[in-house]
Amino acid sequence: MRLQSSAGRALLLVALLLPLPPGEGRGEGSTSANKHPSPNLATAKIIDLSHPFDEKTIYWPTSPSSFKLEKLAYGDTPGGYFYSSFAFCTPEHGGTHLDAPIHFSKTGRTVDQVPVRQLIASAVVIDISKKAEADADYRLTAEDVRVFEKAHGPIAVGTIVLLRTGWGKRWPDRKRYLGDDTPGDASHLHFPSYGREAAELLVRERKVGALGLDTASIDYGPSTDFIVHQIALGAQVPGLENLANLDQVPEMGAWIIALPMKIAGGSGGPLRIVAVVGR
């Protein structure tokens, strides 16, 4: 008994001395991103970064279904009051949504396990819209991140990084947004996103809280290995995809509130995300 309990204490000591597992320090408790002054919610401008869910909502070409809203009731009742109610059905990964770490990582958190603290943080917006306009397959480079940091200072731990590609304006035109609108075929897609080295720098060195953008994926259209998903989700860093209105969010100073539907065990889900900008 005595030996077991001292062995237990030794194990606990070792666990305390080991480096924190991936994900720790990004979402639990205070992070450097939270030390940025937060805007006053009473007077701040709130920008809606979610596209509506409807029959035009864009899903991955191989998705077996899309958003469905079924009317259960709508109209005046015998009781004299109006009543309406609907049922909705959607794959997790379509429209404005969150990729939970388990989407590409066996040991990743499910959507209900992502700490909400990680999803409410100060943000930076990195603009690659000019480069993406010239090259639809443009990927953010580590150098782009360093240039951004030279102008704005280092990206703090826990920051929600948003990539502005200009693609939000193409929504909901499937062909222009995804680069191809062939149903069931995801092999001819073209749109910009994060690149591998930039993702490694942001996730492993800067320890950011989330990677978001205004295209369909945190990997660019032609990707077949989804390496940015592997890097980010493998480190408990969620993706925020198909964001709207990023042109209205300043490069520095905004706070993000990105709360997905709390699907127990889910690999992602519909996301209502807003930017809070002081004024």
Q: Which window, 8-16, 172-180, 197-205, 260-268, contacts Zn ion (CB under 5 A)?
A: 260-268
The 3-state secondary structure of 143-154, one letter per residue = HHHHHHHHHHCC
User: Should residue 200 be labelled a site residue for Zn ion when binding is judged by CB under 5 A?
Assistant: no
Q: Which of 26, 36, 51, 93 binds Zn ion (CB under 5 A)?
A: 93
User: Should residue 99 be labelled a site residue for Zn ion when binding is judged by CB under 5 A?
Assistant: yes
Beta strands 268-277 and 45-48, pairing class: antiparallel
Catalytic residue of the set 103, 188, 190, 229: 103
Which residues lie across from 121 on neighbouring strands? 256
User: Should residue 229 be labelled a site residue for Zn ion when binding is judged by CB under 5 A?
Assistant: no
Cα 180 to its chain centre, rounded Å, is: 23
For this structure, is 229 an active site residue?
no
User: Should residue 214 be labelled a site residue for Zn ion when binding is judged by CB under 5 A?
Assistant: no
CA distance 74 to 267: 32
The least distance separating Zn ion from the CB of residue 241, rounded to whole angstroms, comes to: 5
Q: Which window, 34-42, 76-84, 198-206, 268-276, contacts Zn ion (CB under 5 A)?
A: 268-276
Q: Which window, 7-15, 125-133, 159-167, 267-275, contacts Zn ion (CB under 5 A)?
A: 267-275
- Greatest alpha-carbon pair distance for the chain in Å reads 74
Q: Are 122 and 262 in contact (CB under 8 A)?
A: no
Q: Which residue stretches of 136-268 are H helix? A: 142-152, 174-178, 196-200, 227-233
User: Should residue 144 be labelled a site residue for Zn ion when binding is judged by CB under 5 A?
Assistant: no
User: Should residue 51 be labelled a site residue for Zn ion when binding is judged by CB under 5 A?
Assistant: no
The least distance separating Zn ion from the CB of residue 182, rounded to whole angstroms, comes to: 20
Catalytic residues: 103
